[in-house]
């Protein structure tokens, strides 16, 4: 067992003891800390240890038959060459107020049965229409399974963050939607707004949680996982405050989408394998710190802020597309690589490296305001194509030389002809040089994005 696995095991055990009995959380963290910085806390409600009779909507939940037991030293940059946010900003950036925090659900029909502040202590299956007020909690020994086509509607009955309903899982969650009949978690209103309910919370649940072909809409946090493991396939998170938040968790996420959220994904001390996922139209795409990030065939597009903002993180981006954001990729104190990717049309820097040993290779950097900005010489770029960037292809903001050898700059280019496309010691004696020679004589073989990344 590695040191990281041992540390995670110890912290999981501590949290499990702290929340035993579903009482007030104490010890390693508060529930508000686990659930993020939205300052939204479920109100604990004393409930019986058994499922109330008749607690269903349209069709009663079915109990399953089985029961498994100092950036560089450079001075200020010229005004036209500072099109990037402050390095290191990101995960703690204040967020805007969510529009659904005070939006109440319409009155429930007199014939409807609503699950209110329910504690599930044995294996349970939901199907059809399910309505929830308050919190449904799944005990550590129980599994909650949702069949294809199930729709769970969370009903807010009072305004404010503390009154948001939600689903808290300390046992196991199995969502078995299909392509034609996905499972849906949403609000009780026709058009969900972010903040109408809290979200799906996995707390100290390392029991092979599965979410397949599922839509999550209108939550504060679509998925909020702490000290948990999860596999997702074909899941989508739309119109949420944060689409997916992971803390000290291990997640695989393939073939899904996160769109229209304030923050698409947020990782803290977590590991994620992200494949063929689209993050589109979020205020910020993906934020990570102290994490391990592996992304293949992922597209981040049309972010109001930064596509990827990572600090103290190991990462590998391959076959990715980051385009149409304010800033494309901002990496601080990171290690890893950006391979065979497209970074295009970002309004500030396409890629920004600070104190990061990151390899950039086989990628196309084009139509950004600044193609690549570096604060030091730790990274390296080779085998790439630089073209059509607004002010500079490479901007060296530090005092160390940066190596960008064997790249393609266009037909007939010579090292001495690239002066206007580079900002370095030739422009400011306090800056390091951008070392570009020798140049590639032909366009490198660049990856063709898959159907998601196109």
Higher pLDDT, 296 or 75: 296
Residue 324 has pLDDT above 80, yes or no: yes
Query: For the residues 331-337, what does the mean pLDDT come to?
Result: 98
- What are the tokens at 123? 């294996």
Residue 205 has pLDDT above 90, yes or no: yes
In tens, the pLDDT along 265-288 reads 999 999 999 999 999 999 999 999
Burial 40-49 (b: 16+ CB within 10 A, else e): bbbeeeebee
Residue 369 has pLDDT above 90, yes or no: yes
pLDDT bracket for residue 164 (50, 70, 90): very high
pLDDT cut 90: percent of the chain above it: 71
In tens, the pLDDT along 94-144 reads 456 899 999 999 988 777 789 999 999 999 999 999 999 999 999 999 999
Query: For the residues 145-158, what does the mean pLDDT come to?
Result: 96
Residue 251 has pLDDT above 90, yes or no: yes
Query: For the residues 374-398, what does the mean pLDDT come to?
Result: 97
Query: For the residues 20-30, what does the mean pLDDT come to?
Result: 39
pLDDT of residue 264: 98
pLDDT of residue 122: 98
pLDDT of residue 96: 64
Query: For the residues 363-375, what does the mean pLDDT come to?
Result: 98
pLDDT of residue 26: 36
pLDDT bracket for residue 51 (50, 70, 90): very low
pLDDT of residue 307: 98
pLDDT of residue 448: 64
Tell me the pLDDT of the chain averaged across its residues: 84
pLDDT of residue 66: 33
pLDDT of residue 113: 82
pLDDT bracket for residue 150 (50, 70, 90): very high
pLDDT of residue 449: 65
Residue 37 has pLDDT above 50, yes or no: no
In tens, the pLDDT along 406-434 reads 999 998 888 889 999 999 999 999 999 99
Residue 367 has pLDDT above 50, yes or no: yes
Q: For tokens 């597009």, what's the residue?
A: 301
Query: For the residues 395-401, what does the mean pLDDT come to?
Result: 98
Residue 206 has pLDDT above 60, yes or no: yes
pLDDT of residue 109: 77
pLDDT of residue 454: 59
Residue 9 has pLDDT above 90, yes or no: no
Q: What is the pTM of this model?
A: 0.80
Residue 41 has pLDDT above 60, yes or no: no
pLDDT of residue 445: 82
Residue 339 has pLDDT above 60, yes or no: yes
């Amino acid at each position: 067992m590695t040191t990281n696995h041992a540390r995670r095991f110890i912290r999981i055990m501590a949290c499990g003891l702290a929340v035993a009995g579903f009482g007030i959380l104490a010890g390693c963290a508060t529930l508000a800390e686990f659930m993020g910085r939205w300052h939204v806390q479920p109100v604990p409600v004393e409930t019986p240890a058994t499922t109330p009779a008749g607690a269903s909507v349209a069709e009663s939940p079915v109990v399953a038959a089985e029961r498994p037991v100092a950036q560089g030293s450079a001075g200020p940059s010229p005004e036209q060459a500072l099109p990037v946010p402050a390095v290191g900003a990101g995960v703690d950036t204040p967020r805007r107020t969510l529009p659904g925090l005070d939006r109440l659900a319409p009155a429930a029909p007199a014939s409807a049965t609503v699950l209110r502040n329910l504690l599930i202590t044995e294996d349970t299956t939901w199907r059809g229409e399910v309505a929830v007020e308050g919190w449904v909690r799944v005990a550590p020994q129980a599994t909650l399974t949702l069949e294809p086509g199930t729709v769970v509607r969370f009903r807010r009955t009072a305004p404010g963050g503390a009154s948001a309903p939600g689903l808290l899982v300390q046992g196991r969650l199995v969502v078995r939607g299909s392509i034609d009949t996905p499972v849906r978690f949403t609000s009780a209103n026709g058009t969900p707004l972010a903040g109408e309910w809290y979200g799906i919370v996995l707390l100290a649940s390392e029991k092979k949680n599965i979410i397949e072909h599922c839509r999550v809409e209108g939550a504060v946090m679509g998925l909020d996982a702490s000290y948990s493991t999860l596999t997702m396939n074909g899941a989508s998170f739309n119109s949420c405050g944060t689409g997916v938040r992971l803390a000290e968790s291990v997640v695989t996420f393939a073939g899904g989408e996160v769109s229209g959220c304030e923050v698409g994904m947020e990782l803290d001390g977590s590991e994620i394998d992200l494949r063929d996922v689209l993050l589109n139209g979020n205020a910020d795409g993906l934020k990570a710190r102290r994490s391990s990030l592996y992304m293949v065939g992922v597209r981040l597009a049309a972010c109001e802020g930064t596509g990827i903002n990572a600090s103290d993180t190991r990462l590998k981006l391959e076959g990715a597309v980051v385009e149409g954001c304010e800033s494309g990729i901002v990496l601080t104190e990171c290690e890893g690589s950006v391979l065979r990717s497209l970074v295009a049309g970002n309004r500030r820097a396409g890629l920004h490296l600070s104190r990061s040993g990151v390899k950039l290779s086989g990628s196309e950097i084009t139509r950004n305001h600044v193609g690549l900005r570096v604060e030091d010489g730790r990274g390296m770029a080779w085998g790439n194509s630089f073209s059509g960037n607004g002010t500079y292809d490479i901007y060296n903001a530090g005092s160390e030389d940066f190596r960008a050898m064997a790249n393609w700059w266009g037909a007939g280019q010579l090292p001495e002809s690239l002066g206007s496309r580079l900002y370095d010691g030739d422009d400011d004696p306090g800056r390091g040089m951008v070392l570009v020679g020798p140049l590639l004589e032909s366009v490198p073989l660049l990856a063709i994005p898959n159907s998601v990344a196109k």
